[in-house]
Amino acid sequence: MFSQGERPIPGYRLERFLGRGQFGEVWAADGPGGTLVALKFIALQQKTGIRELKSIQAVKRIKHANLCSVNAMWLLGQDGGVLDDHEIDLLIRNQSREAPSQTLAIEATQVMQNPQYLVVSMSLAEGSLEERLKSQGEGGIPREQLIDYMLQAARGIDYLNSPVHNVGGEMVGIQHRDIKPANLLFAGDSVLVGDFGVAAAFGEYDTEATSVVGSLCYMSPESIKRMPSHSSDQYALAITYYQLRTGTLPFEPTVSFAELVDIHVRGKLRFPLVTDHEREVLARATSTDPKQRYATCVEFAKAIAAPSEPVQPKSRPLPWPALLGGSVVVLLLVAAIVWGIFSNNGSEPGNNDPQPQPHAIVFEPEQTNYTLSIVPTSPRDDLDSDGQSVADINLLPTDKVRIKATSTNVLYQPLDQEFTYDQLVRDDWKVALKPIDAAAMLEKVTELATGGNWEEAQKLFSTAASIYPELKDKPTPETIELQGDPDAITHSPRDNRIATALSGDATSVLGLLELAEPKSEATHVTISTLPNQIHLPDQIPWAVLMQDSVAEVISLDKSGKPYEIDLGLPKVVAYRQITCSTLSPDGKSILVGQDHQSVTLLTITTGDKPVTKLSMSSFATRVDAVAFDPSSKYCFAMGQSGDGGRWPANDVSEASATDFKIADFDEEIISILPLSESVLYVFTDSQVIRLQIPTDGGIAKSSKVESLSSPLLTARLSDDGKFLAYTTENPARPLSIIEPKTGTLSSLQPPDITGVVEDFDISSDSRWLVYVNEDGGLFVIDLTKQPFVPQGILPSQGERIKFVRLSINDADVVTLSEDGTTTWWNFVQLVLAAGQ
């Protein structure tokens, strides 16, 4: 977000990057008078950023020898400028309004300067205790040194917790809520408690929060339940002590979120690597009952500082029952009877109904929202509750619980089930939502990616692959075998179809495949001979096969009779008079270039003969290349000696022609790709040229893009015109990508790319270029990242692939091998699996 040397705040120069979190960055900065400070930049677009603003606002005036001081704070606007101080209060007020006032909040926010970052100036520490722990290598920080650290930190925390701070006119205590080694800083021999990003006044809690606040590894049971106590920071400090003392946390490092919640809530922390004395102190400081903990953090620190040598076991005294004999039993029995009589407060003797006992139900996955209703055996209050992640509930063994739960993670099914007490006990009070099946997961991931949310899709795919590893390890394709070997191939992006001429044993057929339906069978139509080119006009079940001198029009669903359009000269010996042809991007016209110095326009209509000859124009030379511009409004032809012509796409005639020419030109033109009415790229047998055509024709302005040392194979323009890619037979530079807007040329070379590129396609959003190499391996290039670097997404399947296309929504990639095998792969799955 920021760079060394920048001055985002007047008087402060960024000197050294210190770290990055989920919502911002921290820099060491040179401040006024040469003072070094830490500047924390917090993005305010997230609710967490607003929460941190509120927290720092609450503690900014608090000063203590063991608290990291907040020196100043600013807001940065969209333009990077510093906003007035009143914007901070205005922002907090707008974010703090109750639900009924949301309209007012929106109106007030609209007059603000739309702050982007909160910037906080703090004391610059030398490092954190987490860093010091890592520098120790094996084991933890020496105990004597650590005790001193703990006492200093405890003094800072106790002062913060004390009700001596004026917040909003009230004297309150402040909870830090995120005590951990990373937030205990050191400067010289002093320890400072820092990072007040989630601090809050006692009794204040984010009631709209959708998850617990703080770091779960150090979080007290009551904080998990979103009801923190005065000793919640002590709980975290005790775990921090154990980690700094031993280098480990008091639970297995591989525990899941739900297991960790269960460990805290049920008091299952274990402290095996310290002395008995330390273990006893830590157990008290981390009691699940806040009232059982020490009165202050300093009291805890002094208790842990007591001599730590293991206490030698002494001879156990005889228990009281053994000393007093049966008299104790009698006394206990009498006491029990007396208690039974007087504990009923005057009710009938023997009315000892069992009382509901507290339990915590932990939900999986994380952030599961629940609503539960207790089905009791006898009426009582407080039977319904709702919340997230952990449910605190009072149950009798005879009760049942109706639970409805949904996860914010779309990969899990909703739950609506009744549980008995015994079921919950057997499941260790854990309720796990079932994941949806693998196919449904992949569908949701694909929807995200094809909608442009590739980053979110990557996160969701990682979760999905952790549940179903085969999504990453074994992508499963769909295949169809065509009846013959592919020859000429075409693709209709509008109708999402592929057509290929197939040669078989003494027969020729046209194979048609619907890309959107990989499981559907291919359609095969018998043809008289293999064509030079194939066109699939828009929205009609016909195909146009370009032969040497005729256009053969055939019905794909056998609803009409085939016919021919003669495009050759009469009384001329048959030879290839049709030199080239192209279908317009809108699929409604076909432009045909001819050897006998003419250009013909075919149009698509309706009726028994839906493809007809519309118009024709003479041309100066033999026509070598024809094309339409991306809008289908203009068509172009070029031929020998650099002669060219442009016509309206609905009228190819001498009257409508605009003639142009490349001066001093004597090369064969292989292909042309228009960008607009006046700009086109020309590919010859030796170079790539960019042409600028004058409005009224004449000599075109030409500029050389690059030389070609090998013949052109394929050239293609992205749908939005952002990229023009082409391939050649030169293995040293097999693929080049031009960005026409800037003129930038990127030529991929070994070792980034190996071998000749057989075919490629560009996604509809111009993000991906997918290609297949001569070995049959499938690769992808992310066009949003520079430099362009290919990434393998599928190894060779053992067949040479002649053709690759992305489906209309970029969800699938379809390959056609030389033996006629057509294969559909989930393109999103291949890309995301390769990125894991």
User: Is 13:7 a contact under the CB 8 Å cutoff?
Assistant: yes
Three-state SS at 706: strand
Structure tokens at 287: 């009691």
Residue 253's pLDDT is 86
Higher per-residue pLDDT: 337 or 516: 516
Q: Which residues contact 654 (CB under 8 A, 6 or more apart)?
A: 617, 618
> % helix / strand / coil in the chain, to the nearest 5?
25, 35, 40
Reported residue count of the chain is 836
799 DSSP assignment: S
Beta-ladder partners of 186: 127, 191
CA distance 115 to 83: 8
CA distance 117 to 735: 42
Structure tokens at 492: 């209709």
Q: How many CB atoms neighbour CB 182 within 10 A? A: 17
User: Which among 745, 746, 691, 736 has a CA at the least distance from the CA of 710?
Assistant: 736
Residue 58's pLDDT is 62
pLDDT tens digits, 593-603? 999 899 999 99
CA distance 370 to 360: 13
Q: pLDDT grade, residue 258 (50/70/90)?
A: confident
Helix residue ranges per DSSP H, 65-197: 86-96, 102-110, 129-135, 143-161
pLDDT tens digits, 352-383? 667 888 888 889 887 899 999 999 888 887 78
CA distance 301 to 333: 43
pLDDT tens digits, 80-103? 788 776 665 666 555 544 333 332
Three-state SS at 392: strand
Q: pLDDT grade, residue 205 (50/70/90)?
A: very low
Average pLDDT over residues 543-563: 93
Residue 228's pLDDT is 85
Residue 201's pLDDT is 52
Q: pLDDT grade, residue 164 (50/70/90)?
A: confident
User: Is 501:486 a contact under the CB 8 Å cutoff?
Assistant: yes
User: Is 739:693 a contact under the CB 8 Å cutoff?
Assistant: no
DSSP symbols for 319-356: PHHHHHTHHHHHHHHHHHHHHHHHTTTTS-TT--PPPP
Structure tokens at 558: 């056998």
Listed in order, strand segments (DSSP E) in 708-820 are 712-717, 724-728, 735-739, 744-748, 757-762, 768-773, 778-782, 790-794, 801-806, 812-817
User: Is 75:87 a contact under the CB 8 Å cutoff?
Assistant: yes
Average pLDDT over residues 661-666: 93
User: Is 389:377 a contact under the CB 8 Å cutoff?
Assistant: no
Residue 24's pLDDT is 73
User: Is 512:497 a contact under the CB 8 Å cutoff?
Assistant: yes
User: Is 43:119 a contact under the CB 8 Å cutoff?
Assistant: no
Q: pLDDT grade, residue 105 (50/70/90)?
A: very low
DSSP symbols for 445-501: HHHHHHTT-HHHHHHHHHHHHHH-THHHH----EEEE-SSEEEEEEEETTTTEEEEE
Q: pLDDT grade, residue 200 (50/70/90)?
A: low
CA distance 657 to 716: 26
Three-state SS at 758: strand
Structure tokens at 754: 């190996």
Structure tokens at 646: 């442009």
Long-range contacts, 75-82 (Cβ 8 Å, 24+) = 75/44, 75/113, 75/115, 75/117, 75/118, 75/119, 76/8, 76/41, 76/115, 76/116, 76/117, 76/118, 76/119, 77/113, 77/114, 77/115, 77/116, 78/113, 78/114, 78/116, 80/8, 82/9, 82/10
User: Which among 663, 551, 560 has a CA at the least distance from the CA of 600?
Assistant: 551
Residue 49's pLDDT is 52
Q: Which residues contact 730 (CB under 8 A, 6 or more apart)?
A: 708, 709, 710
Residue 359 burial by CB count (10 A; 0-12/13-18/19+): exposed, middle or buried? middle
User: Which among 216, 304, 223, 306 has a CA at the least distance from the CA of 260?
Assistant: 216
pLDDT tens digits, 149-160? 999 999 999 988
CA distance 290 to 286: 8
* Helices H / strands E in the chain, number of each: 17, 52
Give domain 531-708's CATH number out of 1.10.3210.50, 3.40.640.10, 2.70.98.10, 2.130.10.10. 2.130.10.10
β-strand pairing of 430-432 with 357-364: parallel
Average pLDDT over residues 663-682: 95
User: Is 737:725 a contact under the CB 8 Å cutoff?
Assistant: yes
Structure tokens at 340: 């039974």
pLDDT tens digits, 729-751? 999 999 999 999 999 999 999 99
Q: pLDDT grade, residue 120 (50/70/90)?
A: confident
Amino acid sitting at position 371: T
Residue 340's pLDDT is 41
Average pLDDT over residues 414-443: 92
Least confident of 27-36, 327-336, 459-468, 487-496: 327-336
pLDDT tens digits, 788-823? 999 999 998 888 899 999 988 899 999 999 888 999
Long-range contacts, 189-192 (Cβ 8 Å, 24+) = 189/148, 190/65, 190/66, 190/152, 191/66, 191/129, 191/148, 191/149, 191/152, 191/153, 191/156, 192/66, 192/67, 192/68, 192/123, 192/125, 192/156
Look up the CATH number of domain 1-124: 3.30.200.20
Least confident of 286-295, 332-341, 510-519, 768-777: 332-341
User: Which among 15, 59, 58 has a CA at the least distance from the CA of 38?
Assistant: 15
Tokens 């949806």 map to which residue?
Answer: 436
700 DSSP assignment: P
User: Which among 250, 168, 237, 235 has a CA at the least distance from the CA of 203?
Assistant: 168
217 DSSP assignment: G
Amino acid sitting at position 726: Y
For a pLDDT cut of 70, what percent of the chain falls above it? 84
User: Is 73:60 a contact under the CB 8 Å cutoff?
Assistant: yes
pLDDT tens digits, 455-493? 999 999 999 999 999 999 989 898 888 888 888 899 887
Q: How many CB atoms neighbour CB 357 within 10 A? A: 11
509 DSSP assignment: E
Phi then psi dihedrals of residue 620, to 5 deg:
-70, -35
609 DSSP assignment: S
Consult the annotation and say whether 785 binds a ligand. no
Average pLDDT over residues 6-15: 90
Higher per-residue pLDDT: 263 or 77: 263
Residue 61's pLDDT is 74
3-state DSSP of 810-830: CCEEEEEECCCEEEEEEHHHH
Structure tokens at 748: 């991929």
β-strand pairing of 390-395 with 184-187: unpaired
User: Which among 84, 62, 79 has a CA at the least distance from the CA of 71?
Assistant: 62
User: Is 218:181 a contact under the CB 8 Å cutoff?
Assistant: no
CA distance 718 to 722: 6
